[in-house]
Structure formats: C-alpha cells, structure tokens
Amino acid sequence: MLLASACGGATTSAPEPTATPAVEPTPTVQPTAEPVATFEEGPCPFDVPEGAPVECGFVIVPEDHTDPDGPTIKLAVAVVKDESDEHQPDPVIVLSGGPGEKTVHNAFALAQVLAPIHPNRDLIIFDQRGTGLSEPALECPEFLEAMYDILDEPDPDVGVETVFDALMACRDRLVSEGFNLSAYNTIENAADVNAISSALGYDQVNLFGGSYGSLLAQATMRDHPEDIRSVAINSVLPLEKSIFVSTTTANAVMRMLDACAADEACNSAYPDLQDVLFDTIDQLNEEPVPITITNPLEGQSYDAVLTGDAVLGNLVTFLYITQIIPVLPQAIYDVYNGDYELMTQLSSTRLLLLDLTTRGMTMSVLCTDDLIGRTPEDLLNVRAALPRQLASSVDPEFEIEYGIFGICENWPVEEADPWVKEPLVSDIPTLILEGEFDPVTPPEYGQLVAGYLSNSYFFEFPGVGHDVLGATECARSIIGDFFDDPTQAPDAACVAEMPGVVFDVPGEAPELVLEPFTDEERGFSGVVPVGWEELAPANLSRASSALDPTYFVLEASPGAAAELFAAIMGQLGLDPPPDPVSSAQVGNFTWDFYSFERPGGNPADLALAEDGDKAYFVYLVSTPDERDTLYEQLFLPAVAAMAPLE
C-alpha cells in the first residue's frame, strides 16, 4: 500500500498480453560496498503449525551499507521452506508496500495466500529496515493518536496541522533516542534485499513486489542486478514518478464514475453520479454531519464527522480494494439522499488501515526519494488543474506549510541524488501487473516502466483496484507461471475471462434455500444455505456485497462442549464469555443458546451441544436488521437438522 493524498479519465479495456519492445539496457553506475550480513535464527513471532517448514530470525546488516564496519541493524525475516520433490533453488523474496508496511507478524498466513506464486520455491518475507518487527522500528504512536483525535474535527486546516505536529513530535522523540533517520531509504533497502539473499545462502533469487515494493524491486534491479533471476511487480510506481505531486487519485475516481455511467444498470440506478458526488462533497464540506464509527476488530466506537473530504478519502481508499469497488456508487447516492450508514461503515473500515505501516520509516523514505525535482508550486498547479471537489479543501498555504512539503522540510534526512529518479533500464525478465481502477499506481505507470525493460510482459486486470494480487486468483496464477519460466510469456488466458466491475444495484434479495450437508470426516450431517460462498466445509459467507458481514458455520470436533466453547470464545476475543440465554432440546441434542454482539455491532448467535463423543456448534453472524429473519429461517433449522453420522 502506498501512502497517497486524495488529490478525468475514461475507462479502458485490458490490452492483449504482449511482450514490450526491446530496449538496450544502459546500467546505472552506483558505487556500493559488498554486503556484509549474517543470519541469526530465532523463534517465529506467529503461530506455526506443527511440522511446518518455517525458519525465522534476523538478518543483521550495516545501518549504512557503504560503511560495513559501522553500526548494524536487524531485519526480521521469515523463510517458508519448500520441501517438494520439484524444489527449485531460487526463492521468491517478497518486497512489501507502504513504504513501511508491517509483514512478518503475518508471514505464515501471507505465504498461504501467495502459494500459487511460489510453487516449488522457498518464500522469504521480511520487514524492511525501520519497520514492524525489525530493530529498530521507527514507530510513530503520536501520528496514530492524532488521526483518532481529528476524527471529529470538521476544519481540514486544523486536521492537517494536527497531523504535522504529531509527526514532528515523533521526529523529536526518534532523534532523541539516537536513531539516524537518514539511514532509512530506498537505496539502503535495496542493499538489504541483496544482503538477505546472501546471508541466507541463495545464489539467485526472484523478486515479487507490489506498490512501494515495486519501486524497491526496480531499485534492486538497478543497484544489485547480478543475482536476480526474474522480477514480478504489481501496482507499479515508476522510479521517476512522485506519489504526492500527481493526479492519479482524481483520475481513478473519475474512471469509476465513468464506468458507472457507461453501465446501463449502474447508470439507471445511480444517474448523474458525477454531479451527485460533487454536490455531496460541496454540501458536506459546508455542513459536516456527525457520525459514530466503530473499529470492526476492537469494537471501540468514536465520534466523527462526515465531511466532503472524508467522502472523497473513502472513495480513494476503497478503490484500493477490488471487492468494495462495486458498492461505491451506492455509497455516494446514499449520502446524497441522507442515508449515512454505508459511508459510515466505510469510514469505520478505514480505521483498520491506520496502524498497518511504521510511519517513521514511511516519512524517511518518502522525504528522501519522492519529491526530488518537485516544488510546492508544482503541487499547487496540480491542485488548480483538478475539479475543486477532487482536490483537498485544505487551504493551499496550509497544505504547503503542513503537508508533505512542510513535513519533509522538517524531517532530518537529505534528498537523494537526482539520478535515483531516472527510469530503470534493464534486461532482467520482468512481469508487470496493473488494476484498471488503481488510484495511486494506474495502468499507464506499469506501461511506462515496461517500455524501458527489454524482457517484460504487461497485463491489465479489468475491474481491479490497487490490490491486484489479493483481488484475483488469475494474477497469482500468472505470476506462478512466470516464475516457472520467465524467458517466455506466461499463460494469461484468464485475463480475458474476467468480467470487469459489476456494480451493486438494487434488486430483489434471493430467496433463502437450505440444502442437506454431510461431513464424513467430522462425522455429522446438517443443512446449509444454497448459493453462499464456501470458505471451508460448512463455513459459508453470504457475500451479498463486499461489506456484507453475514456468515454461517457448522462444526463438530472430538471432546467436551466446554472445551469447544472456551476455544471459540478465545478466537472471538470475548472475555468474559457470555452466559447462555437458554437451554432446550431441539432435534437430536440438548443445546445451550448464546446471543452476543461482535465487534462492530453485528449480532451473533451460537448453539452448542455434545453427545459424549463430540461437541457440536451452529454459529451465525448477521446484521441487526436481518437477525430475526435469519435466526428463524437459517439458524434454528440448522440446529434442528444437526445430527451425528451413524
């Protein structure tokens, strides 16, 4: 994920997959010292299934790679080993986004998601210097506190100044603690990538990077090309571009509006969407609306205000996430009609994103790299060229003084040499993937980078936002095929089969129909709803929209009901656990019934029983307005139908 400010373009279809024309590489001369790095094994900071081949620890590298005898830092690393018969010796190294995205704490789960891209290869996941579990980590709790403090601040000028002050307080604390903030930049990050592969004993590696990780991949290809076998990058930020001095976010919003206008069903349900959005932004910036938002994980609620800028910020944020793009026209229209529920849900979901990055590292990297060759006047010119509603309503003078230019003027790092902004020219085999609605690294960025790479393949995914890899199995399969043989174009037939964005429009809810279900392995039978998305056997999500929380689970496991109940409560984080609201003989068992509220305010119902051999449960999460209906039509019939197999 790239940190981007909310700053027209038409929808385009995905081009036919082709290799880009050959360009002769002219390598950049970059004097660097040979990496000096060692691996120190340690416990994994996440649960590892018994027998899983995972190795964790730290790679110790120089703080300044041009001074190998100077101070050192530790990079948190997790290596998921491949033990297949077809094992290949060259691993895949994951380059995270942000800059500053925390990754290692979730490495094993991430490896499962990324399984299609690294068949028969080790997967190396690490926290970049200054980030997450690496030591030191340049965390900025001051920034996080400020972001919560301004949730109910209607004045955008006060908000931007509050964030500036918080970052300056973080700067002062980090400096007082002795951290050299100038050592945290893309050049050092690229040297770290090279050092990690050396310390772990690999002769050749494959790089996979998304968002800022794509820029880091380009820098590593430039500075340390000798051991790189191939590179796959998605959501690509060219070395020569700036995140902040750009119209990409406004263009992406316009692209989404145009896509709705061009879709008969969407345009019929939400006509004149651009005018409606612009009127809504103007109205809410003039008269903000108080709302209450809730952290979906913690359940903590906060007073907030819904401004026009907040609506725009939600649109830009959720153009990152492909699954939510279909509901954005409805969210706009609902607010226009005085219904704030869906937009409030989006604002609540944004709270989950605030602590995903280590903000001190973010600022050090961006202030070193991003603004080279850009001036405050350039930013003002970009603002002036946008429709007023798609530019920040912060006063321009405040934006210069307290926005990214003011922050970087006061962040204790020096800008890198201008040559780091030169386009990458390379003949390393490279796969480039882009999403149609990406609000910060649009498809034309990927095409720009591909034009300088003589052995590259470019694909655009229709209907997809910034998170290309997480959005589509098609992208993961293409990357896996490419890593298998990067000398030829990967099989990308699945791109042509993608439908593009299918906007959510009003319609009749499908009738709830139940069908028999038998689980031979766990030894029970029951009923499940027809047409719901199966996440695992008898674990189903209704997924009527991207934000639909409704899901349903049947389970049976050896042991006592009390043990299963304790495990469930631990997973749900309910302490103290709820008491049963009733006990009754229903169907084949005597059940204890529980009703409670999940974090985020959604009701949950649980029924628990045992037969001496196994414990059984039925679990339903619904929305407040549908709880009674689903309880009667799904939950109780499922309880009555649950039975052990003979």
pLDDT per residue as tens digits for the range 577-615: 899 999 999 999 999 999 998 876 789 999 999 998 899
CB neighbourhood size of 261 (10 A): 17
Q: What is the mean pLDDT of residues 120-135?
A: 98
CB neighbourhood size of 407 (10 A): 19
The 3-state DSSP class for residue 362 equals helix
pLDDT value, residue 20:
38
- Can you point out the beta strands (E) in 263-374? 289-294, 301-306
Q: Which residue, among 550, 600, 572, 6, has the nearest Cα to 293 in the 3D structure?
A: 600
CB neighbourhood size of 70 (10 A): 12
Checking if the pLDDT of 66 tops 80, the result is yes
Chain CA centroid to CA 315, Å: 15
Edge-to-edge strand ranges of the sheet holding 603-610: 533-536, 539-541, 551-558, 614-621, 603-610, 589-597, 582-586
What is the C-alpha separation between 469 and 637, in angstroms, rounded?
A: 38
pLDDT value, residue 639:
95
Q: What is the mean pLDDT of residues 179-196?
A: 98
What is the C-alpha separation between 542 and 78, in angstroms, rounded?
A: 34
- Amino acid 234 reads N
- Amino acid 430 reads T
The 3-state DSSP class for residue 347 equals helix
Give the relative orientation of helices 156-176 and 359-369 as an angle to the nearest 10 degrees.
100
Q: What is the mean pLDDT of residues 127-147?
A: 98
Checking if the pLDDT of 180 tops 50, the result is yes
If phi > 0 it is left, if psi is from -120 to 50 it is alpha, else beta; for residue 130 that is left
Q: What is the mean pLDDT of residues 319-346?
A: 95
> What's the pLDDT band for 547 if we cut at 50, 70, 90?
confident
What is the C-alpha separation between 291 and 284, in angstroms, rounded?
A: 12
pLDDT value, residue 262:
97
* Radius of gyration of the chain measured on its C-alpha atoms: 26
Checking if the pLDDT of 544 tops 80, the result is no
Checking if the pLDDT of 30 tops 60, the result is no
Q: Which residue, among 427, 437, 491, has the nearest Cα to 463 in the 3D structure?
A: 437
> What's the pLDDT band for 16 if we cut at 50, 70, 90?
very low
User: Do the strands 456-461 and 643-644 form a parallel or antiparallel pair, or are they unpaired?
Assistant: unpaired
> What's the pLDDT band for 14 if we cut at 50, 70, 90?
very low
pLDDT value, residue 374:
97
pLDDT value, residue 510:
76
- Amino acid 277 reads L
How many angstroms separate the most distant Cα atoms in the chain? 78
Mean pLDDT of the chain: 91
> What's the pLDDT band for 17 if we cut at 50, 70, 90?
very low
- Amino acid 519 reads D
Taking only the tens place, the pLDDT of each residue in 93-119 is 999 999 999 999 999 999 999 999 998
Q: What is the mean pLDDT of residues 34-44?
A: 86
Task: Name the least confident of 41-45, 230-234, 296-300.
Answer: 296-300
Taking only the tens place, the pLDDT of each residue in 297-322 is 788 899 999 999 999 999 999 999 99
pTM: 0.86
For residues 211 and 3, the answer to whether their CB atoms sit within 8 Å is: no
The 3-state DSSP class for residue 179 equals coil
Residue by residue, DSSP assigns 602-646 as -EEEEEEEE-SSEEEEEEEE--TTTHHHHIIIIIHHHHHH-EE--
> What's the pLDDT band for 211 if we cut at 50, 70, 90?
very high
pLDDT value, residue 297:
79
- Amino acid 646 reads E
DSSP letter for 357, please. B
> What's the pLDDT band for 508 if we cut at 50, 70, 90?
low
What is the C-alpha separation between 30 and 52, in angstroms, rounded?
A: 40
The two three-digit tokens of residue 410, written as one number: 């006061």
What is the C-alpha separation between 547 and 324, in angstroms, rounded?
A: 7
pLDDT value, residue 29:
40
All domains of the chain in start order, with CATH: 514-644 (3.40.1000.10)
Q: What is the mean pLDDT of residues 404-428?
A: 97
Per cent of the chain over pLDDT 90 is: 82
Q: How far apart are the first and last CA of the chain?
A: 51
Taking only the tens place, the pLDDT of each residue in 480-494 is 999 999 999 999 999
Checking if the pLDDT of 34 tops 90, the result is no
Checking if the pLDDT of 12 tops 60, the result is no
Place of tokens 């850009």: 374
Checking if the pLDDT of 191 tops 80, the result is yes
